Amino acid sequence: MSHLSHADELYLDANATSPVLPAAIAAALDAMGGRFGNPSSSHAAGLRAKQILDDTRARARRVLGGGPGRVLFTSGATEGIQTAVLSALCAIRERRAAGDTCGDLLLYGATEHKAVSESLAHWNRLLGTGLTLQALPVDADGRHRLDILRELAPRAALVCTMAANNETGVISDLDGIACTLREHGPRAYWIVDCVQALGKLPLDLAATRIDYAPFSGHKLYAPKGIGMLYVRDGAPYTPLMIGGGQEAGQRSGTENMAGIAALGAVLAELEQGTAFRSHAAMAAMRDRLAAALADAFPGIVFNAPLAQALPTTLNFAVPGLASKDLLDLFDAAGLRVSAGSACSAAKAAPSYVLAAMGLPLWRSSGAVRLSFGPTDGDDFIDEACARIRRCGQALRAPLLAPSPLSGAAHGLLQVSAEGRHGWIAFDLDAGVGVAIDPPLALAPRIAALVGARGLRVAAVLGTGSDPEGAAARAALRAALGQAPADPGPLGWPGDAAAIAIGARVLARLASSGTRMAYLLDAADGSGIAFTGDADGVQLARPAALLCHGVDLDGQAFRALDVAATEASAAHLASADLAAFLQAHADALLVDVREQPEADAGACHLHGRSALNLPLSRLAEHLAQLLATPERPLVFVCRSGNRSARAALALRRAGHPQAWTLAGGIALAQ
């Protein structure tokens, strides 16, 4: 089963969600068609629907090894977790009300999904149980610290762990946890999040000590909105929803029959054992992907030991590369991966899972997760490996390259991180460059960029005397093998009047003591100024462009030869792009993705090949783009974020025909 849902797409984010199995789609359509009845109805249509319900429950019981335990259908794992937590806490409250000191701790693994810790806090507060929430630490491999569990188990009323982690794929030592609880916390209830285990790990729940196990259908080829909850025979149960008494009074509300039928089809495939790969086969496929990654990215670090992880999951980081850079690169090659949990990736924060493992910040903030499904085949993995290696080759292409427009050997590269902007002015023919306001986080990467081109860095300059700027300059000098201390005020070399960068000259302008501005002469004689903020210092010489070291309304530079404007980016919907290009034959399609992304996957839309002009090189080409204000410019990127910044910069500089493709290439293909 290939996951090429678009013409050139390989889906490698199966831990977030999965495509729906064709047999599951057919089963859902059958449930919505010929067997559409309500399973609570006693007539023939209802009985046909009830057969789906009964067959799927029986199959689930067999696949899970549920024995006499309950199996009920939910809307997904979050509902299952909520129900399990509510059931356990209600039982604990009853025990305590009867004078039973059954423990005062709600223990949860430090790497659990946030649905667990948030659910514990929510119901503990609403039920007034007054228990103490405490995270159970994990070791450097991501496994629960059983030594600490032994200490805390006598006080535990409820313990929550997971079968396998959704970010790292680390498989929990459930046997070790069970043994510890039997010996030191025999009365504690135990919830195990089994979302990532279905189809990847053997399950025999009735033979374990597990009280509650939630599952989610959409993680394994069923649609979103359907899940299961296993409840051990004899474990306390309190319904989360009461009403019409469906699910034998365990979960009221008319059942999601299409979802249940689809889940039943997936479980049937699991039972038959023909469509799903064996653990050994999946592990071999993962090892091939790991080898391709190691070939593509020298220095790569895998954030979890493969021997203790799911055979379908890889979590890694590459020194000097942010997760966003890697995601953009993979996406350009048609590889869909993620930066971690889909539920928290949008927050752009370091992974709390990797932080709990004690990994350094560069690994927890730069992590990428690659995950495939148990139906993927060898041809799928072959193509994925080939594209991964192509990404590595693209990444080795130098960013300090001749101008995409003029071909000139000199240029100006913007380097940005965490709302701060730096600049590298360079001349490839002269073999020299100057760094201005380098962001601290990018010091190793900047050193690698100039090293790849064999450039001599004549100076590392700052426009302000803030501590972070000084630390950044020191870090970059150290990475370049230079003395870390500034040779002069804000890095300016002694009493030099100017620094030659090939045929161009960088001049120091009058400073205020704690701030300084610099001016790089341009071909038209107007110059490019650098300052720490938008106001900067008074420029003694004319400049067409002001590049600043801090982010101002999403911009790193602004034109100075036009009146300030509140212009906003003009958005062009992907559905309107073809007509727009047809109506404007002279329109220039500008791909502002970085060079490695364009090398990994060139942009062709509606018969037009886009000019690759990376956003990081836009400042140096602003004057050229403004020279033809009558020519429409349509900026594109992966998602529309970078192209919006480019269009906004052009609009504010006075170009009336600058547009951004809303939704980016992702929605236009």
Mean pLDDT of the chain: 91
DSSP-assigned states of every residue in 200-212 = TS---GGGS--SE
- The one-letter code for the residue type at 553 is D
Neighbours of 251 (CB within 10 A): 22
* pLDDT number for residue 541: 56
Main-chain phi, psi angles of 625, to 5 degrees: -70, -30
Distances in Å between the Cα of 375 and the Cα atoms of 119, 220, 276, 277 are 32, 10, 5, 6
Distance CA 575, CA 100 (A): 65
- Long-range contacts made by residues 28-32, C-beta under 8 angstroms, separation at least 24? 28/223, 28/258, 28/259, 28/261, 28/262, 29/258, 30/261, 31/257, 31/258, 31/260, 31/261, 31/262, 32/257, 32/258
Distance CA 169, CA 232 (A): 25
Does the pLDDT of residue 580 top 90, yes or no?
yes
Length reported for the chain: 669
* pLDDT number for residue 341: 55
Residue 76 is encoded by which pair of tokens?
A: 């997904």
Whether the Cβ atoms of residue 386 and residue 296 lie closer than 8 Å to each other:
no
Catalytic residues: 343
Distance CA 607, CA 439 (A): 39
Identify the helix (H) or strand (E) that includes residue 64.
helix 44-64
Q: Which of helix, strand or coil describes residue 219?
A: helix
- pTM score of the predicted model: 0.87
Residues 623, 522, 631, CA angle at the centre, nearest 5°? 15
* pLDDT number for residue 534: 53
* Tens-place pLDDT, residues 428-482: 999 999 999 999 988 988 999 999 999 999 999 999 888 999 999 999 999 999 9
- Residues with Cβ within 8 Å of 561's Cβ and at least 6 positions away in sequence, in order, are 526, 544
Give the closest residue to 614 by CA, choosing from 637, 582, 584: 637
Residue 490 is encoded by which pair of tokens?
A: 């804000």
* Tens-place pLDDT, residues 111-155: 999 999 999 999 999 999 999 999 999 999 999 999 999 999 999
- Long-range contacts made by residues 507-514, C-beta under 8 angstroms, separation at least 24? 507/541, 509/537, 509/539, 509/540, 509/541, 510/537, 510/538, 510/540, 511/537, 512/537, 514/464, 514/465
Distance CA 589, CA 406 (A): 17
Distance CA 268, CA 222 (A): 12
Whether the Cβ atoms of residue 592 and residue 636 lie closer than 8 Å to each other:
yes
Residues 502, 453, 437, CA angle at the centre, nearest 5°? 70
Whether the Cβ atoms of residue 515 and residue 537 lie closer than 8 Å to each other:
yes
Main-chain phi, psi angles of 368, to 5 degrees: -130, 135
Q: Exposed/middle/buried for 578, CB within 10 Å: 0-12, 13-18, 19+?
A: middle
Whether the Cβ atoms of residue 49 and residue 186 lie closer than 8 Å to each other:
no
Does the pLDDT of residue 103 top 70, yes or no?
yes
Distance CA 449, CA 415 (A): 11
* pLDDT number for residue 164: 98
Distance CA 580, CA 69 (A): 61
Does the pLDDT of residue 350 top 90, yes or no?
no
Does the pLDDT of residue 535 top 60, yes or no?
no
- Residues with Cβ within 8 Å of 55's Cβ and at least 6 positions away in sequence, in order, are 264
Distances in Å between the Cα of 462 and the Cα atoms of 238, 480, 486 are 63, 16, 10
* pLDDT number for residue 47: 92
Whether the Cβ atoms of residue 534 and residue 528 lie closer than 8 Å to each other:
no
Does the pLDDT of residue 343 top 70, yes or no?
no
* pLDDT number for residue 510: 66
Give the closest residue to 478 by CA, choosing from 447, 519, 515, 436: 447
Distance CA 291, CA 636 (A): 33
Does the pLDDT of residue 1 top 50, yes or no?
no
Distance CA 480, CA 474 (A): 10
Name residue, tokens 């067959």: 55
Pair type for strands 504-508 and 498-501? antiparallel
Residue 221 is encoded by which pair of tokens?
A: 């080829």
* Tens-place pLDDT, residues 354-402: 999 999 999 998 999 999 999 999 999 999 999 999 999 999 888 899 9
Number of Cα atoms under 13 Å in the Cβ half of residue 558: 22
